[in-house]
Structure 1
Amino acid sequence: MNENKHTRVGAHFYIVAVLIWLKLLLLRLLFFDRIAWEWTAADLAPVLLLLGLLALLIPARMKTAVYWSLNGLLSLLLFAASVYFNHFGSVPTYLALYELNQVFQVKESVESTIQPVDYLFFSDLVAVMVYSLFRRWKTGAAQPLRRYLSPGKRRAQWIVILVSIIGGGLLSAYSVHAARGITNELVQAESAGLLNYEVLAVIKAKEDNGLTGTGDIKETVAKVDALEASYPYSSKPAGTVPDYFGSQKGKNVIVIQMEAFQNFPLHQSLDGQELTPVLNRLAEEGFYFPHIYQQIGAGNTSDAEFMSNTSIYPVASLAMSTGFGDRVLPSLPRLLRDKGYEAYTFHVNKAGFWNRNELYPALGFNDYYDKGYFKNDHFNAFGASDEQLYITAVEKLAALQQKGTPFYAQLVTASSHHPFQIPEAYKKITLPDHLQNTMLGDYLTAINYTDYAVGTLIEGLKQNGLWDNTVLVLYGDHFGLQPQDVPPEQVEAALGIPYDSRISRFNIPLIVHAPGMAQGQVVERTGGQLDILPTVANLLGLPLKQEGFTAFGHDLLNIERNVLGMRYYLPTGSFFNDDIMFVPGKGFTDGEAVSLDTLQPVADFSPYQSDYDYILKLMNLSDEYVKLLPQR
């Protein structure tokens, strides 16, 4: 290879290295709203290592093409990482590739989260292509880059390559080692850099033995029981009959999981129009839990289904339906089937979405009803509206009632799915001018329709003689509004209520309407989606301990204090108790706490150290437990 050609290839090495590094700095800015310069070398190190290895192993004639191909591939991955962060609020790992097929199912929702700045990751590639085409058109041939660069020596290029490999490798190894002890994934990713963070994800997956545990599940259950006994959930003496135990024994159960439904619209009005009149009435007649928080992981809606039916924490790395759809999952459907119930689930999308065709048998449902069972009224990208969901569900459940078979049914709504744009014919409220063509306005309109549709379900249940013999449970699966789309100030101005970008966003409603209640009750206890199963089981007279059932949530009607963990949308180690939301830094002492009552920072959160230590142990035991469950 002549000297000029070596110079040209070497120049591409430097240019591509700098361009990729700049893109990683842009990603830092998008992820963390800042560039912590003390950690930016951790971004450059793996880039130099990769390019150095390619320079060493790839034939000279292919080097330039390979360098730019790597730039293109990483540009695509960084673009996807930014979009993923916009949508989920978490830094993706390579395990997110397992869920890539789900993106096309929610294409409309994902596309709406793409920001113009995301396209900057491709700007250099476009510029090079335009320049190359222009020069080819201008002179008839592409102009080699060597015209604009000073010649270098061949030996110097090899020194650069070796320094890149050795220096980049050592610095990457140091960054990975330094970040391994950080539990907060966001801080860990910022410290290590995105590419090194992926290495950490591989190491963690290997240490966790993937998705299959080792050991005796009975020993894990014993450790769970011992840990639970150490936490003061209740001061009631052991053996005391829980309040409301068995008050709904033998009743049918319908669980409605409401898409993207936050708690703040309840009991609110917009220009005199009640936003959720049906849910408001149900809350006044039954048990209303205003302080419930989402706990989902990477599986979003499907994780909410998993948790409400199992009371097991989702793992942090991937959707539970993807990772554990091949297991025999202890669940409420299985418990009730042992008592003579039949269990069914209804969802207007295809069951293959989020691997539900595997999740539902794993949960022990008799069967499921998916897209083909509902009249497609072309409500949104999923097809059928909530009204059609309920029409089919009532028809199938009424048939069971006629046979004298008690049932457990889960109905998963989709009409309030992001980006919350519903057909004009289905809109039930009129937005004020300042909310027209805004995401907040669209969201409130969709939530109002979801509420209306629940009313049609109730009417259907009454007409078919099901209402007075059915416990109705309603909860939100996860938040709907992202702060970058709808600032808290906009919600506060529209409804005149305080709104926090995390506490209010993660706060979902939980309502349990039980036949025969003389008066409704507001239960102020803080809770999460893991607490749904134990609470419903208590009402149905199912003693979980006697049934040999391990639940990681708690009966909200019979505890005096609660703490629940959250990870994925908040970093590992985050928790809610009856007083605060806590989010760790590198650990507990450099974390932050916010009051659930005032939504203001809490300066001294040291009294809650034990909650932090406890919840980390509990979530680790949950992971250990679910990985030991038998395969189907």
Structure 2
Amino acid sequence: MSELARLIRKSPFFIVTLLVLAKAELFRFTVFSGTSPRSLIIDLLSALLISCIIELIPHRRVRQVLYGVYWLIATLTLLGATVYFRYFGSVATYTTLFELNQLPAVKSSVKSLITPLEALYFADLVLFAIGWGIHLWKKRRDQWMLAYEQVPAPFKLPYSVATVLVSIALIFSVFTVRASADTTNELKRAELVGFTNYQASVLWNAFSAKREKPDVALKDIPATKEKLEEQVVPAFASSSSTSTVENPAYFGSEKGKNLIMVQLEATQNFVIGLSVAGQEITPVMNGLVSDSFYFPQVFQQIGQGNTSDAEFMSNTSIYPTAAVAMSKGYSDKDLPSLPKLLGAQGYTTMTLHPNDVTFWDRDKLYPALGFSTYYDKPFFTNDHFNSFGASDEELYRVGLEKIKEASAAGKPFYAQFVSLSSHHPFEIPEDKQELTLPEDIAGTQLGNYLQAVHYTDKALGKLIQGLKDQGLWDNTILVLYGDHFGLQAKDNDPADVSKKLGIDYHSQITRFSIPLIIHAPGQEGKRVERTGGQVDILPTVANLLGLSWSEDEFVPFGRDLLNAERNVVGMRYYLPTGSFYNDEILFIPGTGFEDGTAYSLKTHEKIEDFSKYKGDYEYILEWMKLSDEYVKQLPKHK
């Protein structure tokens, strides 16, 4: 038997502990770009904690099985977390395990994220195979009994030593986690405490939150919300929502009109007005901009639920908690929503999405939001546009039929469309790729993205033409907005994108900026520079439709962008908690405010002195916390 095989047989405790430690450091190099002696000690103690617990089990066979399970779980978890970080830019938590059933639906996206680096997580299998091969060769060469007489007795860590090590590792982990409790930046916290301790801290925080009483009772949230605005950012006091603004501009200007909201998959704002090699990427949306309200400074705010979170926000004006997809964690709540507001006004409400409605639990989310009808995969002819199935053209074809039926009933309607044709990895049929791109762009992810968005824009034009053909265009508000970024950070260096497209592409400002276009038939076009987010869509649309509500029945956490004098919108999950966009800057915290980073929204340059924005930082932390308190306390729907 080889020395390696003998050592494994003799002491899986040492081998597995060292292998798990090595993989934890590989994760650190991938996510945090390096390690340190302190980090090495933290990760070693985390690995020892579990190994020593296994050593406390008296049965050797059980220990061996558990070591194998421990090695496998650690390998797959850290591998998955590495791929996850590459796409989301955040550290995966145990709650993401509940989303594993979603992987088959996005397998093309996941496959494109895996790189040769991930093979290192399984490099030890090669060593195991070599060791086992040597063992088999020697087994044939030597006498069977002689070979096994030379094998020492299996090693087992003394019970007393294992107990002491478990105690030391546990105390150290608790101390490490508690010392980082005030760090709101999830990436910094994960870096400080290590991957395993970070999972423990997230689990403990979730457990504590369930046991603790809310800081603010549900009935007191409207007053607390108003007080927070007055104390921290007085300019906000009169611009929270349509219901509190005195004589808001445009209020009710589109009252009674139909409403169509189109959520555009992975559409970033930089494509609006962009031309490549003399070709407009989005000619349809460019045409709309001239006679619509166009908001060029709106940013994504989605959490773990991604596209479904965007649907949630645009219909509720509530922040995602980022701890879980809102469709999974809160679809049992009686959610105040735009469909319910319009339903009370006699509107027919529907939502259309060509994927399976069970994906992201939309079959639960849509009833919770108050949509009277939803149309999913079975209602569309699968033209095999991409891995999701039906194309945007098919989505709008069916949608126009359903809209025609609703309009014939003589009632106004609200129809939500969730597009999919520009989904990552942006591989669309060749006969739909109409752009002639330069050689340095064609075939790259950037080129594929431009082709997909161009198709999405063209399909949108068919929806608009269909509305005109049915005589509905002049009686319908059309709202277009992106759900989240498209271009992957790992595949698209900002400097490279800037050079190829002739724009100033910033990794966090441009990447997270999404379009918001509201075509209101009774209004002239206007460019609105106010910063906003997806939580602001509902209040802005409600203002145009003349919708009012009491604070007892509806508490929005967004603002009417047509009337707000100033705005601050928070973002977490894709950026650390405490990050915000206001009308001047993007701010990203470090361990706190003082060691954070700020960039100008206009110039994209780094701002050295951002001390005057500390009030915005404190405000957005409290604002998002209050939103969390609100949605968690909403009653269960019947």
Q: Do both share a fold (TM > 0.5)?
A: yes
User: Aligned residue for 2:600?
Assistant: 595
**Contact 2:580–2:617 (8 Å) recurs in 1:** yes
Over 3 Å counting, the alpha-carbon distance change for 1:8 and 1:340 in structure 2 is closer
Structure 1 stretch displaced more, 223-232 or 394-403: 223-232
Question: d(CA) in 1 for partners of 2:486 and 2:158?
Answer: 53
User: Aligned residue for 1:228?
Assistant: 229
User: Aligned residue for 1:139?
Assistant: 139
User: Aligned residue for 2:383?
Assistant: 377
2:540 to 512, 531, 535: 535
User: Aligned residue for 2:626?
Assistant: 621
Count of residues in correspondence between the two structures: 625
User: Aligned residue for 2:204?
Assistant: 203
Matches within 5 A, 1:227-306: 227-230=228-231, 231-233=233-235, 240-306=246-312
Question: d(CA) in 1 for partners of 2:119 and 2:434?
Answer: 38
Matched, 1:580 2:585: yes
Listed one character per residue, the Cα deviations across residues 456-479 of structure 1 (whole Å, up to 9, x for unaligned) are 100111111111100000000000
Question: d(CA) in 2 for partners of 1:438 and 1:487?
Answer: 12
Shift of 1:516: 2.5
**The residue matched to 1:63 in structure 2 has which SS?**
helix
Matched, 1:120 2:126: no
Shift of 1:212: 9.9
Query: Which amino acid letter does the alignment assign opposite residue 185 of structure 1?
Result: E
**Contact 1:6–1:154 (8 Å) recurs in 2:** no
Over 3 Å counting, the alpha-carbon distance change for 1:102 and 1:210 in structure 2 is farther
**Contact 1:232–1:561 (8 Å) recurs in 2:** no
**Contact 1:473–1:512 (8 Å) recurs in 2:** yes
Question: d(CA) in 2 for partners of 1:491 and 1:154?
Answer: 56
Listed one character per residue, the Cα deviations across residues 84-120 of structure 1 (whole Å, up to 9, x for unaligned) are 1112111011111121111111111111111211121
Question: d(CA) in 1 for partners of 2:157 and 2:391?
Answer: 66
Listed one character per residue, the Cα deviations across residues 251-270 of structure 1 (whole Å, up to 9, x for unaligned) are 00000000000001111111
**Contact 2:268–2:515 (8 Å) recurs in 1:** yes
Matched, 1:568 2:581: no
**Contact 2:6–2:151 (8 Å) recurs in 1:** no
User: Aligned residue for 1:520?
Assistant: 525
Listed one character per residue, the Cα deviations across residues 329-388 of structure 1 (whole Å, up to 9, x for unaligned) are 100000000001011000000100000000000000001000111111110011110000
Query: Which amino acid letter does the alignment assign opposite residue 386 of structure 1?
Result: D
Query: Which amino acid letter does the alignment assign opposite residue 196 of structure 1?
Result: N
Listed one character per residue, the Cα deviations across residues 402-457 of structure 1 (whole Å, up to 9, x for unaligned) are 22110011100000000000001112211221112200000000011011111010
2:436 to 396, 405, 430: 430
User: Aligned residue for 1:388?
Assistant: 394
User: Aligned residue for 1:504?
Assistant: 510
User: Aligned residue for 2:557?
Assistant: 552
**The residue matched to 1:359 in structure 2 has which SS?**
helix
Structure 1 stretch displaced more, 293-302 or 581-590: 581-590
Matched, 1:607 2:612: yes
Give the TM-score, by structure 2 length. Answer: 0.94
Question: d(CA) in 2 for partners of 1:235 and 1:198?
Answer: 38
Question: d(CA) in 2 for partners of 1:222 and 1:194?
Answer: 39
Over 3 Å counting, the alpha-carbon distance change for 1:204 and 1:373 in structure 2 is same
Listed one character per residue, the Cα deviations across residues 458-512 of structure 1 (whole Å, up to 9, x for unaligned) are 0111111111100000000000112211111221122101011111100000000
2:366 to 348, 360, 366: 360
Question: For structure 1, which runs of at least 5 residues remain unmatched after alignment?
Answer: none
User: Aligned residue for 2:353?
Assistant: 347
User: Aligned residue for 2:474?
Assistant: 468
Question: d(CA) in 2 for partners of 1:389 and 1:8?
Answer: 57
Over 3 Å counting, the alpha-carbon distance change for 1:104 and 1:236 in structure 2 is closer
User: Aligned residue for 2:94?
Assistant: 94
Over 3 Å counting, the alpha-carbon distance change for 1:14 and 1:397 in structure 2 is same
User: Aligned residue for 2:326?
Assistant: 320
Query: Which amino acid letter does the alignment assign opposite residue 333 of structure 1?
Result: P
**The residue matched to 2:210 in structure 1 has which SS?**
coil
Over 3 Å counting, the alpha-carbon distance change for 1:206 and 1:229 in structure 2 is same
Over 3 Å counting, the alpha-carbon distance change for 1:523 and 1:434 in structure 2 is same
Matches within 5 A, 1:393-472: 393-472=399-478
Structure 1 stretch displaced more, 326-335 or 482-491: 482-491
Matched, 1:76 2:81: no
**Contact 2:219–2:552 (8 Å) recurs in 1:** no
Shift of 1:156: 7.2
**The residue matched to 2:416 in structure 1 has which SS?**
strand
**The residue matched to 1:285 in structure 2 has which SS?**
coil
Question: d(CA) in 1 for partners of 2:245 and 2:312?
Answer: 30
Counting aligned pairs with the same residue, the percent is: 50
Listed one character per residue, the Cα deviations across residues 159-180 of structure 1 (whole Å, up to 9, x for unaligned) are 6534431222222122111122
Over 3 Å counting, the alpha-carbon distance change for 1:319 and 1:239 in structure 2 is closer
Over 3 Å counting, the alpha-carbon distance change for 1:121 and 1:605 in structure 2 is same
Shift of 1:127: 2.3
Over 3 Å counting, the alpha-carbon distance change for 1:42 and 1:340 in structure 2 is same
Question: d(CA) in 2 for partners of 1:48 and 1:524?
Answer: 54
Matches within 5 A, 1:24-35: 24-35=24-35
Structure 1 stretch displaced more, 205-214 or 332-341: 205-214
Shift of 1:141: 8.8
Listed one character per residue, the Cα deviations across residues 500-541 of structure 1 (whole Å, up to 9, x for unaligned) are 111110000000001032x31100000000000000000000
Matches within 5 A, 1:50-65: 50-65=50-65
Listed one character per residue, the Cα deviations across residues 229-285 of structure 1 (whole Å, up to 9, x for unaligned) are 332345869763000000000000000000000001111111000111000111111
Over 3 Å counting, the alpha-carbon distance change for 1:604 and 1:59 in structure 2 is same
**The residue matched to 2:261 in structure 1 has which SS?**
strand
Question: d(CA) in 1 for partners of 2:452 and 2:213?
Answer: 41
**The residue matched to 2:56 in structure 1 has which SS?**
helix
Question: d(CA) in 1 for partners of 2:96 and 2:431?
Answer: 37
Question: d(CA) in 2 for partners of 1:153 and 1:10?
Answer: 4
